[in-house]
């Protein structure tokens, strides 16, 4: 029996995780935490607000599913890795902001880090049992979001509602806006760098509009392995919770009876500059990825509030990254400081916009 703690309990990841846990006798829900909404009775132990690591201390889970949104997920990520508790990670921002610290904590704790992000779960499965020297490169796929194919001047007046209409995935508002700007793919690029230990020049992003191919790994012999399936987060959630087994889900297998066309195209980096900005932040390393993430969180919140136009999201992040100084990320204090500084700079950029 695996004891599971769910963090970010009012979001769509946890809702789907509950379905998987209910259907799988080997999985037992022991605790759940939410940021602010009431979750009475959801799990034997619950906590609303406050520090979720206090709940984890009491619950003693075997697996922490971290589905908190944003930088706020970092303490739980570090707690699980430090304690050698399996971390099913749906909070990519914590690994982006604190990749080096997280890997050091995992080294000390000796536990598993299993990605719940669909592309990374797919890549993890393609890479299982392969030695790094056999790998040529990793390809992360993205749908391109609701604005794929549009020119810059066609994005000036798009509304939050339009940005939230994702063509293939049902997700929360923050990640859905990130998908529309391609910031999500940028965060995923940094996430993949830390998860798989590949340099940035060996991680490529390609658009696959129907979201059937989730990732590909190219090997040095010229072979590529891909992970395919209908876009449904229950697959990567179930994989992380049941690993190394596989649970049954209600997701249908691929159906070829009507044919299946897979198209790929390169992302438009001029129209969607956040992907290239994220790549640069990742290459610069240290606190730069943390600053990128913080500026993006501030800008997305402002866009969702109607305080910033869609194109202002990238402009705000770009302006923040031009002003922020980099430093090495030695400990959590360095990151909290970098996060705070970037948020302040981003808020200032917003005030000018």
Cβ atoms of residues 186 and 275 within 8 Å: yes
Supply the minimum distance, in Å, between the C-beta of residue 211 and Mg ion. 9
3-state class (DSSP) for residue 316: helix
328 vs 338: CA distance, rounded Å: 10
Nearer to Mg ion, 30 or 215 (CB): 215
Supply the minimum distance, in Å, between the C-beta of residue 182 and Mg ion. 12
What's the Cα-to-Cα distance from 98 to each of 24, 93, 140, 186, rounded to whole Å? 33, 8, 21, 15
Place of tokens 């391609």: 182
Nearer to Mg ion, 119 or 232 (CB): 119
Nearer to Mg ion, 118 or 341 (CB): 118
Supply the minimum distance, in Å, between the C-beta of residue 170 and Mg ion. 13
Strands (E) across 35-148 are located at 45-48, 63-66, 86-89, 113-115, 135-142
265 vs 59: CA distance, rounded Å: 46
Nearer to Mg ion, 236 or 286 (CB): 236
Supply the minimum distance, in Å, between the C-beta of residue 298 and Mg ion. 21
Residues 100-139 that bind Mg ion (CB under 5 A): 117-119
Nearer to Mg ion, 3 or 234 (CB): 234
Question: Token digits for 144?
Answer: 């391109």
Q: Is residue 24 a contact residue for Mg ion (CB under 5 A)? A: no
Residues 142-181 that bind Mg ion (CB under 5 A): none
For residue 102, give the nearest of 82, 124, 84, 88 by alpha carbon: 82
Cβ atoms of residues 87 and 108 within 8 Å: no
Supply the minimum distance, in Å, between the C-beta of residue 118 and Mg ion. 5
91 vs 75: CA distance, rounded Å: 11
Cβ atoms of residues 28 and 78 within 8 Å: no
Residues 193-232 that bind Mg ion (CB under 5 A): none
Nearer to Mg ion, 81 or 183 (CB): 183
101 vs 20: CA distance, rounded Å: 31
Supply the minimum distance, in Å, between the C-beta of residue 307 and Mg ion. 26
Cβ atoms of residues 327 and 334 within 8 Å: yes
Nearer to Mg ion, 99 or 109 (CB): 99
Supply the minimum distance, in Å, between the C-beta of residue 187 and Mg ion. 9
Residues near Mg ion (CB under 5 A) are 117-119
């Amino acid at each position: 029996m695996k004891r599971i703690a769910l963090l970010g309990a009012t979001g769509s990841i946890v809702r789907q995780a509950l379905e998987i846990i209910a259907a799988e006798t080997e999985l037992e829900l022991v605790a759940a935490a939410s940021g602010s909404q009431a979750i009475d009775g959801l799990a034997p132990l619950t906590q609303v607000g406050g520090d979720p690591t206090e709940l984890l201390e009491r619950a003693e889970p075997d697996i922490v599913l971290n589905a908190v949104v944003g930088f706020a997920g970092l303490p739980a990520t570090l707690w699980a890795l430090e304690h050698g508790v399996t971390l099913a990670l749906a909070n990519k921002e914590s690994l982006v902001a604190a990749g080096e610290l997280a890997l050091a904590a995992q080294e000390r704790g000796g536990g598993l880090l299993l990605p719940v992000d669909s592309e990374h779960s797919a890549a993890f499965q393609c890479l299982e049992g392969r030695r790094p020297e056999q790998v040529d490169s990793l390809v992360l796929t993205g749908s391109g979001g609701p604005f794929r194919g549009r020119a810059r001047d066609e994005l000036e007046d798009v509304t939050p509602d339009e940005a939230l209409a994702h063509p293939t995935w049902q997700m929360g508002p923050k990640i859905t806006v990130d998908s529309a700007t391609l910031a999500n793919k940028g965060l995923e690029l940094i996430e993949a760098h830390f998860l798989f230990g590949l340099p940035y020049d060996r991680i490529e992003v390609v658009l696959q509009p129907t979201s059937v191919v989730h990732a590909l790994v190219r090997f040095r012999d010229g072979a590529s392995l891909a992970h395919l399936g209908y876009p449904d987060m229950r697959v990567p959630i179930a994989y992380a919770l049941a690993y190394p087994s596989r649970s049954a889900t209600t997701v249908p297998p691929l159906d070829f009876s009507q044919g299946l066309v897979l198209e790929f195209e390169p992302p438009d980096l001029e129209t969607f500059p956040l992907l290239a900005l994220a790549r640069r932040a990742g290459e610069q390393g240290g606190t730069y990825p943390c600053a990128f993430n913080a500026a993006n969180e501030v800008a997305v919140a402002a866009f969702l509030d109607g305080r910033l136009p869609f194109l202002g999201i990238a402009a705000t992040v770009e302006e923040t990254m031009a002003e922020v100084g980099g430093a090495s990320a030695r400990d959590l204090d360095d990151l909290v400081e970098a996060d705070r500084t970037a948020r302040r700079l981003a808020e200032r950029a917003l005030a000018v916009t």
